[in-house]
Structure 1
Amino acid sequence: MTSTAKKNWKRMFSGPASGLLETDPEFAQFFADFAFDEVPLQDDLDDRSRMMAILAALIGSQSTETFEAMLPAALGLGVTPVEAREIVYQAAAYLGIGRTLPFLQAANRVFTAQGISLPLPAQSTTSPDIRLEQGEQVQVDIFGEQMREFSKSGPEESRHINRWLSSNCFGDYYTRTGLDNRQREMITFCLLAAQGGCEPQLISHAAANIRIGNRRPFLVKVISQCLPYIGYPRSLNALQCLRKAVEQ
């Protein structure tokens, strides 16, 4: 590996470089040189944002083993246990519990191994009586005034889905402390980009990111840092969705 790749590896991980150096030395070398040297040096995205984006991308791409390996590195680079847990919790709204539960279990294994007491401090700020109202207000804050009374919109047969989006997706998740709206929208962008097949939602959330201050250059940096973990097709799709959001 290059000296920079070795330096970044040591900064992130406490163990040996990789077992792949023994079984697949050529692959281990050029991947490490790319992911831990060339890609981080591409831009000035701060460590904490980069690691939060990578964790979300690994969840979106269903990379449980790599997530469990990367989480200690993220914690070492400034991501707090609460922030890491909130990333996993939020994934349930975009991937469903079946694809999220393994990551919650992996995160808890890491926390336990590091001596972090569970459960972590509660972050909820809503109650059953106000989650709909608070969730819809978050939608307005992020997407704009056109989201006012979104929960009452749409055909009657599917209106409950819009209500759930307001009360559950935004009212249960986005209203939690531990992450702010800009961080949550970046995470959502990564979750959608990494799982693929969600291009309409990815365009919408790219526009939402831009609206609340995560500008196009920032999102390009986020995509770039996630690329080694999600591959070129989904990264290129994310760039195309970002361009469409800017055009709109």
Structure 2
Amino acid sequence: MTINDTAKAYHDQLFGDLVSTLARTDPELIGYFDNFAFAEVLADAAELDDSIDLHTRLLVQLAAVLAAGGLAEFKVLAAAGQANAGVTPVELKEVVYQAVAYVGMARAYDYLHAVNDILTAAGVELPLPGKATSTPESRQFRGHVVQEQIVGTGRVDQMHAAAASDTKHFQRYLTGNCFGDTVARGGLDLPTRELITFSMLAAIGGADAQIRGHVSGNLNVGNTRARLLAVLTVLVPFIGYPRTLNALAAINDITPPATD
């Protein structure tokens, strides 16, 4: 199948003269995949919300590919994003750092090394300047502030109060570690971080309740139904239909479509 001009132009913009070996060994698959992922999908996403530009698209796709366990694909996208899409070294690091909270270090470990290799090859000196905004003493307070922005005023205290005595430490972890240590970091603004979280949860599978929670969280920090749908649209080629449809159900449940 011939790759159409729109898909070819996008491929060349993002990947330059890189030619996948799969284009030689599996030309039919790559033909219809590229036409779908790099033309049809992008047109539909732009119609929903044209603020999902190349830079933002790469951030959410990197987050989803990491959560889905696609290390080889992640390396290609990360290198291309850093070289050709304006994804900064700090942003690459922050996507992976945030992943530790949502997919765990066991999965994120290889991706952290992959980013380090990409940045080192590009001549970036490591470590990067720190982006922490909390200390061991302030992490609970800082996390509480950020968590409330996402889940709503008063909800954090309610969740802590409602937890059984032998499970209260999980709420403490969420506030101090997930939000205070991680989500409160600099380098990415909060609406972008929530899109990244949504993308990871959509891709990881089995996190339907958390997806619904973070659809609400996205709305609370200023993202819209249209923006979430545009993000989910650009994830379809990378996470497949079952996980896409689960995430779509969560969006429709929390922010239903307008009726004509």
TM-score, scaled to structure 1: 0.96
Structure 2: which 5+ residue stretches go unaligned? Answer: none
Q: Alignment partner of 1:157: what SS?
A: coil
**Deviation per CA, 1:192-216, whole angstroms, max 9, x where unpaired?**
0000100001000001101211100
The residue that corresponds to 1:241 in the other structure is 250
Comparing 34-43 with 215-224, greater Cα deviation is found at 34-43
Structure 2 CA distance for aligned equivalents of residues 170 and 49 of structure 1: 22
Q: Alignment partner of 1:238: what SS?
A: helix
Is 1:16 the counterpart of 2:14? The answer is no
The residue that corresponds to 1:51 in the other structure is 58
Structure 2 CA distance for aligned equivalents of residues 90 and 26 of structure 1: 36
Residue pair 1:202, 1:238 contacting (<8 A) in 2 also: yes
Structure 1: which 5+ residue stretches go unaligned? Answer: none
**Deviation per CA, 1:81-127, whole angstroms, max 9, x where unpaired?**
10111010000001110011011111111111111111111101111
Bigger relative CO (Cα 8 Å, ≥ 6 apart)? 2
Is 1:229 the counterpart of 2:238? The answer is yes
Percent of aligned pairs sharing the same letter: 39
Structure 1 CA distance for aligned equivalents of residues 40 and 79 of structure 2: 22
Amino acid at match of 2:125: S
Describe how 1:196-211 pairs up with structure 2 within 5 A: 196-211=205-220
Task: Could you list the structure 1 runs, at least 4 aligned residues long, displaced by more than 6 angstroms after superposition.
Answer: none
Comparing 131-140 with 16-25, greater Cα deviation is found at 16-25
Is 1:136 the counterpart of 2:144? The answer is yes
Number of aligned positions between the proteins: 247
Is 1:193 the counterpart of 2:202? The answer is yes
Please report how far the alpha carbon of residue 148 of structure 1 lies from its aligned counterpart in structure 2 after TM superposition. 4.1
Please report how far the alpha carbon of residue 22 of structure 1 lies from its aligned counterpart in structure 2 after TM superposition. 1.4
Residue pair 2:149, 2:220 contacting (<8 A) in 1 also: no
Amino acid at match of 1:209: N
Is 1:99 the counterpart of 2:68? The answer is no
Please report how far the alpha carbon of residue 228 of structure 1 lies from its aligned counterpart in structure 2 after TM superposition. 0.4
Describe how 1:32-71 pairs up with structure 2 within 5 A: 32-42=34-44, 43=46, 44=50, 45-71=52-78
Structure 2 CA distance for aligned equivalents of residues 212 and 20 of structure 1: 40
Structure 2 CA distance for aligned equivalents of residues 162 and 153 of structure 1: 10
